[in-house]
Structure 1
């Protein structure tokens, strides 16, 4: 969005000069923001503490990210996978998280710490950010975090960013009567782990040339994965993902083929070849160097053979095809989002 580009430039100049702060309250549409917060409150409050909104779009997002997507979908009519969503530039500078929020955030934005946590923002000031989130023990809830509290979502090394709805949607809320017509997902108090056919509506994902995304979820020590809502065995031998050197490794064929790619094996060189769209990758057993379209990429864990099964690190593969990895520590699960 043009506003974000301008703010990034202003923020950079101000930071370099160590002078004044530029606050988003001077930039975003306050009237629209006020009405957006009302809609968020109206939608979220009946669900607080119910643990109803913990699985979004049949596994596309779970737990806190499921909850925040439900809020967006029912307030704006779009989720973060829509062409109407954009991301601010990611940062790991938690010392200046407050300035980041005050420069770039708007009420209604989603604050994300990669692989750790998400929340919906309803207000913020120089010291705190307030809104709604989902926690494993407290379920859907109202929340306020200091900047140090946000840092403690992870270990302080994860990137954070904002998901933002397009200005063309945001500005619709200048009309105080504007709202999404139909509830998407479970009703308050309806105990379900997925969207029922009765309550589901097809998401409005923008123009017809939009990018589509797929979602695959695997869990440590679980031989079954979900691929875009379907349950599949990871391999015919019942092999499950494991953690080696803090990295998830697993047989990769079923995942790549579920994405629409192909997998090959050279027994002489003990090399796995992967092809997905325009990306060719090669990974050799016991080598921490992978090749991506002929270019060497350093990994911190090597492919290995465990119980006669070739186990590959999923993060490096996903990130080198332009996908994203999310780690859910409470359930020891990895969610892979990729462009279809």
Structure 2
């Protein structure tokens, strides 16, 4: 049967109505994230914004792509709080993701700190994401960890929050001389992939160079220029699912500090060490001296993304301090969850 133009128009209207009904955001606050809608980078940044529930298909910002660069954290502009981010990743290469903002640039280094949050009876840390994305490349970070007490977790990761692909270095406070390497595919939590490596000294006392060299065929982890682990894609093939369980998604480089010892999850606490010691004036800090990113694909541009809506300030902000737990929302007067558009 020949397709009728009249029927085609009706079908288009039905499709548009369905798309609007599925959206929970409006044109002034077009970007959806974890139950809330707004228009700035905290909600619209690629990887944080949920395109399926945003106002339309162009509401979420596009991925910025990779740019080879070295960040030495000599300038305060090297880090900006995400709600103040104007959208140019070349001017502001790193973003502090959570509020309160526990990340800063001082004394030529990126500093991530964790303070005690009495209301939650645990530490509230920090997460810093690269503004540019990456899909294959070599990333070297010069890091001094916060492994000075049990329960304190420091992380250097490449992760896509939407697909769950991840490659990481992690340090746990109960083992200050150890770094752990791991990778995940499609958010499958296979903890058997973790491999520890012992350094000759305390990782919280000195800076070391940690490198993730990620290609379409393999991942190499290096410490101070020495390869400590290699995973080849061909070795990750799972016959049952006919899938290579190897991270391939475009992602962001990130650093975080969080309280694993008081997380409330027994497995996490045993892994990190517990309880995390807290007392008057206690604070834990992780330092990143430099980050060198060498791209191998998905080249970026200098053009800032558009915001898809107004520049109004969000009324409510997701805050979890990089803990990996469900976010807690601030309680600004008048703040409301967004209302579905019907």
- Please classify the TM superposition score into its range, dividing by the shorter chain length: under 0.3
Select the structure with the greater relative contact order (CA < 8 A; seq sep ≥ 6): 2
The structure in which a higher percent of residues are helix is 1
TM-score (norm 2): 0.27
TM-score (norm 1): 0.27
